[in-house]
C-alpha cells in the first residue's frame, strides 16, 4: 500500500511538490518569526535592565507617582547609607546609583555666547567610586570615539553625533539647562571628557 502511494506521489508531480513547498514555507516562517520575536523580546528586556530600569529599582514614593516625568528633584538624596544597607542585606546583587534627566545642552563660543543648542536625554552614573562596574556593564570604554572616560566630578560623555552637531570637542564646556518638578529652571556646567558612538 505504501509502495503504491509513493509511486503515485512521484508520478504526479503537482500532488507531491505543492504540499512539500507549503510545509517547508510554513516551517521556515514559523522558525524565523519565533527566532525574531524571541531575540527582539530578549534584547528589549536586556536593554531595559542595562540602561533604564535595572533588575530592581529603589525610589521614593513621590518619584514613583510621577515617574513618567523623570522628576529628579524627587529622587533619593544622600543614598550612601541606603546603598550600604542594601549591599549588606542583598550581597549577591550589584547596586549602583543612577538618575535619568533631560534638558537643553548649550554650547558657548569663546566669548561665552551661545554657538549651538540641542535637546538631550542623559543618564547620571557613578563612574568614579571604587568597585562600581557601570562602565563595564554599559561597555562605555569600548564606545569612546574621542577623549577619555570621566576622571573627576563635572565631566561628561556625550555622543559623537551630538558633539558634531553642537561643534564641541573634548575639554570644552557645555551647559545643561533643565527644569524641576515645579517648573523652576536649573542650570549646571560640565566639561566634555569624551564622545561615544551609539
Per-residue model confidence as pLDDT tens digits over 126-176: 888 877 787 887 788 888 999 999 999 999 999 999 999 999 999 999 999
* Cα–Cα distance, 32 to 50 (Å, whole number): 27
For residue 152, being part of any structural domain is answered with yes
Task: Show Cβ contacts of residue 75 under 8 Å, excluding neighbours closer than 6 positions.
Answer: 59, 60, 63, 99
Judgement on whether residues 107 and 187 belong to the same structural domain of the protein: yes
Residue 122 has pLDDT above 90, yes or no: no
For residue 123, being part of any structural domain is answered with yes
Hey, which of 3-17, 70-84, 104-118 has the most confident mean pLDDT?
104-118
How many domains are there within the chain? 2
Half-sphere exposure of 128 (CA within 13 A, CB side): 8
Judgement on whether residues 42 and 118 belong to the same structural domain of the protein: no
Regarding pTM above 0.75, the answer is no
Judgement on whether residues 7 and 86 belong to the same structural domain of the protein: no
Q: Let me know: does 174 contact 106? Beta carbons within 8 Å.
A: yes
pLDDT of amino acid 54: 67
- What integer is the mean pLDDT of 173-193? 86
Q: Which domain holds residue 77?
A: 61-196
For residue 141, being part of any structural domain is answered with yes
Judgement on whether residues 16 and 113 belong to the same structural domain of the protein: no
Exposed/middle/buried for 63, CB within 10 Å: 0-12, 13-18, 19+? buried
Judgement on whether residues 106 and 127 belong to the same structural domain of the protein: yes
For residue 56, being part of any structural domain is answered with no
Hey, which of 30-39, 52-61, 93-102, 189-198 has the most confident mean pLDDT?
189-198
Amino acid at each position: 500500500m505504501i509502495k503504491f502511494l509513493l509511486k503515485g506521489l512521484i508520478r504526479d508531480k503537482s500532488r507531491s511538490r505543492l504540499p512539500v513547498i507549503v510545509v517547508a514555507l510554513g516551517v521556515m516562517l514559523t522558525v524565523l518569526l519565533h527566532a525574531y520575536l524571541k531575540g527582539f523580546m530578549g534584547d528589549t528586556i536586556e536593554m531595559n535592565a542595562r540602561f533604564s530600569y535595572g533588575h530592581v529599582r529603589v525610589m521614593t514614593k513621590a518619584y514613583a507617582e510621577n515617574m513618567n516625568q523623570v522628576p529628579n528633584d524627587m529622587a533619593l538624596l544622600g543614598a550612601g547609607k541606603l546603598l550600604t544597607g542594601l549591599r549588606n542585606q542583598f550581597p549577591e546583587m550589584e547596586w549602583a546609583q543612577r538618575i535619568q534627566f533631560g534638558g537643553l545642552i548649550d554650547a558657548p563660543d569663546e566669548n561665552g555666547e551661545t554657538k549651538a543648542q540641542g535637546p538631550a536625554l542623559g543618564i547620571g552614573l557613578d563612574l568614579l567610586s571604587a568597585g562600581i562596574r557601570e562602565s563595564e556593564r554599559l561597555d562605555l570604554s569600548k564606545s569612546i570615539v574621542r577623549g577619555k572616560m570621566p576622571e573627576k566630578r563635572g565631566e561628561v560623555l556625550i555622543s559623537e553625533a551630538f558633539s558634531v552637531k553642537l561643534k564641541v570637542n573634548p575639554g570644552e564646556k557645555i551647559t545643561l539647562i533643565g527644569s524641576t518638578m515645579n517648573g523652576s529652571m536649573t542650570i549646571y556646567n560640565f566639561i566634555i571628557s569624551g564622545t561615544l558612538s551609539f
